[in-house]
Structure 1
Amino acid sequence: MWIGSHVSTRRGYREAARFVQAIGGNAFQYFPKNPRSLQLKSFDRADAERCARWCRDNGVVSVAHGPYPVNPAAEGESAEQAVLSTLNDLAIAEACGSIGVVVHFGIYKGRDPLQGYTNIVLWLNRVLDRWTGQAKILLENLAGDHGPMGTTADELVTVRSLCARPEAVGFCLDTCHLFASGQWRGPDWEAFAARAREIGFWDHLAAVHLNDSRYPAGSKRDRHARFAEGEIGRKWLRKLLETPEIRRTPLLLETPADEDGTHRRQIERVRQMSKMEEAE
């Protein structure tokens, strides 16, 4: 299994990979550039390529996460800025040997929600029309704190199917978002997993944000808790880890750090819980 956490790249991309291995992980997520801005980054390609080689040699996988202002459902100048920003992120991810770039599904405040979905499909087409690399766009489900758009697996599957190059689009499942939105409430995990299997969601899952939740199911509040210490809790996270499609996908913690400032203890907890499932 690939298990790790989000890590800083302030010391470079390769050092981020080495750091996650030092705390017991073999997978990591990183921001290619400032997560609060759409400003493009001129990156150190040699460092990125060293990261890619090191990861290949050491069995480590990585995923990039795009900046928060990227909103695929937006219109006008901001949409074009987000296109250019995402192309920049894809180039960095490609150089680092990463699976792809996580992009939040999109938020639309207009009167017609269908226009919001149309905007997302068109935005994906605009990015992918200019992208020829192997790194994918990984659409992430939302928590529902800005409205219901993007909270269901069906939406992600449908949008992917409608874009011009669906093979260049995958999914990132955030477990806190799924719980906060009410799409998963704990005991109904098997029903969600079966529906995801039926519609082909699992076929294109490329990353999992393995986050517990500070608030109850359906709260529409996106606040992460340490793994197995929140409202989802150990019982239902263990049930999630039983799912074969989850176990073969990189599991990335975006949770508050442990007392030592790292995710070492939580990574070990995930591994222990996974081994318990194997033993049973």
Structure 2
Amino acid sequence: MQILTLKNGGDTMIFGCHVSIRNGYFGAAKRAADFGAAAYQYFPKNPRSLSVKDFDKGDATSCKEFCQEHNLISVAHTPYSTSLTPSEDKKEITIRSLLNDLEIADTCGSVGVVVHFGSQISKTDPLASYHLMLEMLNSVLSQWNGNCLLLIENNAGTKGALGTTFEELVQVRNLTEYPEKIGFCLDTCHMFASGLWNGENTEEFFAKGEELAYFEHLKVIHLNNSKYPTGSNRDRHANIFQNGLIKEKSLQEIVKSPVVKHIPFVLETPDDEGISHQEEINQLYQKWG
């Protein structure tokens, strides 16, 4: 097993990828380590279901202990159907599902659970979506007292183009009753697709995020290239060094910025288009590590 051990305060980058839990939570951690990863992401349960999972706490605890022993950072991601702006009949099941995700991730020792920013729910009331998001966040976090954070991810701009600016992300966190229980996840494909970052405005991008204190609460970055141009609002991930429209130099400016020096970068790139995640992680360390 190839284990990458990080030195506290060192200059080693923290690269990893999404892994399956088909062999359990402990198995997922070991698989990430086999890849030479220093971080990884996983779905805490079936990614297509909001049902509450009765999970193996012993397996999750073994995962946590393994990660602590090998300085391996983990983060969970909510199922695809999770929404912070659900229909009325999906509110309670979504709240229960989010609490279940947080409990599993906390037992695994994960930094947080990633959830996408909400989408537009009203054509006449532009604030309706934000009000519902705050209601959902307050409902979930009023019942949550673990160490694991809820990590709000920026959107690519589909479904009403909400959650594409630093201002929105920071303001939603600030307006909740429990901002200390919320962090952020930044997706490079999403920020390129939405136009938040176009590959040429890196200095302005970091300056705005620092001004609004966004980066103070950033816990993980999804490192993805994009198959569509900036401003397209199309969320299609590409591999970092092939088939993507974000230039390598532009991504390097993000990855090597001192602002995000100690943030884990987790790949959500295709692993069936000519390069595996293990190979891509090796490339990242060779070029930027």
Q: Same fold (TM over 0.5)?
A: yes
**Aligned partner of 2:186 among 167, 173, 176:** 173
Distance in 2 separating the partners of 1:164 and 1:170: 14
The structure with the greater share of residues assigned to helix is 1
Residues 140 and 173 in structure 1, CA contact (< 8 A), matched pair in contact too: yes
Q: Which residue of 2 aligns with 1:64?
A: 76
1:9/1:16 contact within 8 Å kept: yes
Determine helix, strand or coil for the equivalent of 1:207: strand
Identity across aligned pairs (percent)?
Answer: 47
What is the 5 A alignment of 1:184-203?
A: 184-203=197-216
Partner of 2:279: 265
CA distance in 1, matches of 2:49, 2:120: 20
Give the corresponding residue for 2:25: 13
Q: Secondary structure at the match of 2:127?
A: helix
User: How many angstroms apart in 2 are the aligned matches of 1:262 and 1:98?
Assistant: 24
Q: Quick one: which amino acid aligns to residue 267 of structure 2?
A: L
TM-score (norm 1): 0.95
Tell me the residue number matched to 1:54: 66
Partners of 1:154 and 1:99 lie apart in 2 by 23
**Offset, 1:247:** 2.2
Q: Is the 8 A contact 1:144 1:181 kept in 2?
A: yes
2:255 is matched with which residue?
Answer: 241
* Structure 2 residue aligned with 1:37: 49
> Does residue 237 of structure 2 align to residue 216 of structure 1?
no
The two structures, once aligned, show a CA RMSD in angstroms of: 1.3
Following superposition, which runs of at least 4 residues in structure 1 exceed 3 angstroms of deviation?
Answer: 258-262
CA distance in 2 between counterparts of 1:224 and 1:52 reads 29
- Equivalent residues in 2 for 1:63-82 (5 A)? 63-82=75-94
Partner amino acid for 1:24?
A: G
Aligned to 2:132: 119
Residue number among 162, 166, 188 corresponding to 1:153 in the alignment: 166
State the alpha-carbon separation in 2 of the partners of residues 197 and 106 from structure 1. 23
- CA 1:258 to 1:70, structure 2 compared with 1: closer, same or farther past 3 Å? closer
The letter for the 2-side match of 1:245 is: V
2:97 maps to 1:85: yes
Match of 2:246 in 1: 232
What is the TM-score normalised by the length of structure 2? 0.92
Query: 1:187/1:259 Cα in 2 relative to 1: closer, same or farther (>3 Å)?
Result: closer
Q: Secondary structure at the match of 1:81?
A: helix
Cα distance in 2 for partners of 1:272, 1:151 equals 32
Q: Which runs of 5+ in 1 are unaligned?
A: 276-280
**CA positional deviation for 1:258:** 5.9
Contact 2:206/2:259, CA 8 A, preserved across alignment: no
Q: How many residues align?
A: 275
Tell me the residue number matched to 1:100.
112
